[in-house]
Copies of this chain bind each other. A is one copy, B any other.
């Protein structure tokens, strides 16, 4: 059976022996894996993502055929209700998807309204005809301020165009339990799909949150789910922690953090995975950043960041674990020979593949980092397609959850975001948050005590 993910970790524990570190952590990792598997089996809160790879996407296909009738699809959501959508689109669709003609594209144009920046929302309004647009409003709680704000704006524009009936253009994706979005669907009769209650936002990309918009752009969501399912099965069948790449990643993250390396640089060598890093950063940061623990995920892209961050990576402080990720096969372009005498010095490029060069650059960066004594996880996938991407999604969800459990953290909550939310509600004069407004002002005024203006 062909391997779908390989992680070489001989250089992930500088000054120590990989085998010995893993053996030392074996008990902890085995116990943590058991907790993870048991939590999933028992259907405990937060563990619902475990079941997503094996959930039939049939209901989704019905809605997708509805989506395909529109000129544009706008995903209204933020964080876990947007990053996965962007990631799937960027990884599996044409990089200039929206610029293609309708015949070249496999579906409607696609926009994401995530931020509460009026410039972003206005720009989308410039591009769409509200009556020819499907709006997917995704919020687990049905109350996320930025999402609801954008929802109100698009709903209003829609009302002033065409039929104005939300049933024609709106679909909500939210928790099955009561919330404003669920109530809205009941009141108006608009379409709705469900984020299972036990699936948190950042673990929801393989639910309708991520699958609907991806399928509408022609992404093969069956393969995506099959890949995730294959990864789930293989992880369950890994007998030793040494041959389980999720255990290896968790061990490397924990060991290196303990050695004072408080960052994890995720550096794929593939344009298609640029937004994958961003999706991973939420998963890792929000799941593990608690109790004063948590390595900070740092996004990088090879080879671009060799010309931006590698100076710092190799000669700055020894404070990062590097995860390089490359596909072992690419559709390549062969570099031609130049006729000009002035370009003779480029002879070393001619006849070689651009992608082969990128592969060698990844290897060179790894070698240079290893030479500098920096810890490197070298990971390979056979190719970047829907199946492998699905397997990577499940892999990183699993590895993240495993790391959290091993550190005694709850990887499925995010108590630290509540404070800022309450302050915003207070400052927005939402009833019941008066005290929060005063407290926000008080802390903020500390910053104002000293000012340099120019």
With A180-B343, A332-B118, A360-B427 given, is the CB distance from A349 to B145 under 8 Å?
A: yes
Contacts of A353 in B (CB 8 A): 118
Contacts of A335 in B (CB 8 A): 149, 152-153
Copies of this chain present in the complex amount to 2
Further pairs besides A183-B341, A378-B447: 13, Cβ < 8 Å: A5-B453, A96-B98, A99-B127, A115-B358, A118-B333, A121-B354, A146-B357, A148-B346, A152-B346, A180-B345, A247-B452, A348-B429, A367-B440
Task: Tell me if A41 is interfacial: C-beta within 8 Å of chain B.
Answer: no
Let me know if A447 and B94 touch, CB within 8 A: no
Least CB distance from A352 to B in Å reads 7
Let me know if A282 and B309 touch, CB within 8 A: yes
Interface residues on A, range: 35 or more
- A82-124, CB under 8 A of B: which get 1 and which 0? 1100000000001110110000000001000011111111110
> Chain B: which residue is nearest A424 at the CB level?
B364
Q: Provide the bound-state CA to CA distance between A378 and B366, in Å.
A: 37
Let me know if A454 and B5 touch, CB within 8 A: yes
Name which of A285, A312, A330, A439 has the most chain B CB atoms within 10 A of its CB: A312
Which residue in B245, B263, B285, B366 is a CB contact (below 8 Å) of A444? B366
Q: Provide the bound-state CA to CA distance between A99 and B143, in Å.
A: 32
Task: Tell me if A163 is interfacial: C-beta within 8 Å of chain B.
Answer: no
Let me know if B289 and A354 touch, CB within 8 A: no
Binds B, one of A56-64, A207-215, A412-420: A412-420
Let me know if A453 and B6 touch, CB within 8 A: yes
Name which of A83, A235, A243, A304 has the most chain B CB atoms within 10 A of its CB: A304
Contacts of A339 in B (CB 8 A): 159
Within 8 A of B (CB), among A280-300: 281-282, 285-286, 288-294, 296, 298-299
Least CB distance from A454 to B in Å reads 5
Name which of A159, A243, A271, A414 has the most chain B CB atoms within 10 A of its CB: A271
Q: Provide the bound-state CA to CA distance between A329 and B186, in Å.
A: 39
Task: Tell me if A7 is interfacial: C-beta within 8 Å of chain B.
Answer: yes
Within 8 A of B (CB), among A379-430: 414-417, 419-421, 423-425, 427-430
Contacts of A441 in B (CB 8 A): 367
- A424-454, CB under 8 A of B: which get 1 and which 0? 1101111100000001111110111111111
Let me know if A423 and B333 touch, CB within 8 A: no
Binds B, one of A8-16, A31-39, A46-54, A218-226: A8-16
| 21 A-B pairs (CB sep. < 8 Å) | A4-B454, A11-B447, A79-B306, A83-B308, A96-B127, A117-B271, A119-B270, A143-B345, A146-B361, A152-B336, A184-B343, A245-B452, A262-B317, A262-B319, A290-B312, A312-B416, A315-B415, A367-B420, A367-B440, A376-B447, A378-B447
> Chain B: which residue is nearest A415 at the CB level?
B315
Let me know if A417 and B296 touch, CB within 8 A: no
With A18-B450, A120-B271, A349-B149 given, is the CB distance from A293 to B317 under 8 Å?
A: yes
> Chain B: which residue is nearest A284 at the CB level?
B312
With A121-B354, A331-B119, A368-B420 given, is the CB distance from A146 to B303 under 8 Å?
A: yes
Task: Tell me if A321 is interfacial: C-beta within 8 Å of chain B.
Answer: no
With A303-B116, A431-B348, A447-B378 given, is the CB distance from A296 to B331 under 8 Å?
A: no
Least CB distance from A434 to B in Å reads 12
With A78-B304, A148-B349, A440-B363 given, is the CB distance from A341 to B187 under 8 Å?
A: yes
Contacts of A114 in B (CB 8 A): 304
> Chain B: which residue is nearest A78 at the CB level?
B307
Task: Tell me if A156 is interfacial: C-beta within 8 Å of chain B.
Answer: yes
- A240-258, CB under 8 A of B: which get 1 and which 0? 0011110110000000000
With A117-B358, A308-B281, A349-B428 given, is the CB distance from A452 to B313 under 8 Å?
A: no
Contacts of A42 in B (CB 8 A): none
Q: Provide the bound-state CA to CA distance between A367 and B9, in Å.
A: 41
Which residue in B120, B269, B357 is a CB contact (below 8 Å) of A149? B357
